[in-house]
Homo-oligomer: A and B are copies of this chain.
Amino acid sequence: MEQEKENPQTNPEIQDKILLAALTLFTNKGYFNTSLNDIAKVAELDNTQIIYNYFANKHAIATTLYNNILDNLSISIDDIKRRNSTASEQLRSIVDLLFKLTDDAPSIMHFLLILKIREFLPEQRALNESPAFIKILKIIQTGIRSGEIRNIDPQLANAYFFGVINNTLRMVLNGTLDKKADSYQSQTWLMAWNIIAKKSSVF
């Protein structure tokens, strides 16, 4: 009922088209302003009802989107942790990923940073309770123990660091900052990192 059907008897490309159309529409107009008809049109389906071959209902489309995005993020973070040893390097790589996503896949970042997901997926756990975000908090905790990060409440460090990062990206997404995210990245990273770093050794 609430999930993606397990055996879509049809083209998996169509499923992707539906998900992509839904992502675009949800971020542009909002979940409640988007009808299944809208999704079918943007996905270039002949018929609205085709959607029901792939998803039980509109809600299931949003759930799948949400899970796909968070799963990918979680996998990327695992990868980053494997490739980098220090908290500083790991956070630096995560910031790198988020800025890249903002330029290359703004809808995904819009979904994560701007949409009020609880409004249409009330049964899903909050973003900061998802594996991806728990892993980020753990990186911060590790950084505090290793002495890289100042000894403050990890949640506060998290709030400060990603306050700077995410707010900058939000302003790129909504056009208040008019250049590509990429052009703000190095400066923004420095600012965010220096807030929580033990010494401002980066300057």
Contact = CB atoms under 8 A, between A and B. Distances in A.
**Most chain B CB inside 10 Å of its own CB: which residue of A30, A152, A163:** A163
B174 A126 contact: yes
Contact of A164 (B114, B177, B195): B195
The count of identical subunits is 2
Interface in A104-131: 114-116, 119-120, 126, 128
Interface bin, chain A = 35 or more
B166 A184 contact: no
Contacts of A119: 29-30, 32-33
Contact of A160 (B29, B155, B167, B176): B167
Interface string A178-203: 00000010011001001100000000
Nearest to A165: B163
A56 interface: no
A159 interface: yes
Contact of A159 (B114, B152, B167): B167
A187 B176 CA distance: 28
Nearest to A177: B155
A156 interface: yes
Nearest to A137: B176
Contacts of A164: 159-160, 163-164, 195
9 contacts: A32-B119, A126-B176, A152-B187, A155-B177, A159-B167, A159-B170, A160-B188, A163-B165, A166-B167
